[in-house]
Amino acid sequence: KQEVTQIPAALSVPEGENLVLNCSFTDSAIYNLQWFRQDPGKGLTSLLLIQSSQREQTSGRLNASLDKSSGRSTLYIAASQPGDSATYLCAVPGSSNTGKLIFGQGTTLQVKP
């Protein structure tokens, strides 16, 4: 059974810092891994999708890497800003063809001005 874990659960950093969020999964047979952002009480915004054949994806100040063999992904945020404060979730497809995503519990990030 696939399980997804995110560490740390919460993170507080001063503005301008580079930071890394971690995501691990137990079954390496994944099609892809998706990172989302969720603002309090709001919807999920897709940030990056890494296919299983890729090692990393970049979008602006965000860079996500994927190491299937070790069951890990990292989301790197460069030069953090207060507007980056949110909960970041990683998710992988479930083992059956249900369209289901299995989510981690998320990392809540606070960037202080």
List contacts with other proteins (CB under 8 A). 31-32, 34, 36, 41-46, 49, 89, 91, 93-94, 97-101, 103-106
CB of 100 to other proteins, least distance (A): 5
Q: Which is nearer to other proteins, 37 or 71 (CB)?
A: 37
CB of 110 to other proteins, least distance (A): 18
CB of 79 to other proteins, least distance (A): 26
Residue 2 and residue 26 in contact, taking contact as beta carbons nearer than 8 Å: yes
Q: Which is nearer to other proteins, 76 or 103 (CB)?
A: 103
Whole-angstrom distance, CA of residue 34 vs CA of residue 28: 14
Residue 36 contacts by C-beta under 8 Å, 6 or more apart in sequence?
A: 44, 45, 46, 47, 88, 89, 90, 91
Rounded to 10 degrees, the C-alpha dihedral 77/78/84/90 comes to: -10
Whole-angstrom distance, CA of residue 105 vs CA of residue 16: 25
Q: Which is nearer to other proteins, 43 or 113 (CB)?
A: 43
Q: Which is nearer to other proteins, 77 or 89 (CB)?
A: 89
CB of 113 to other proteins, least distance (A): 27
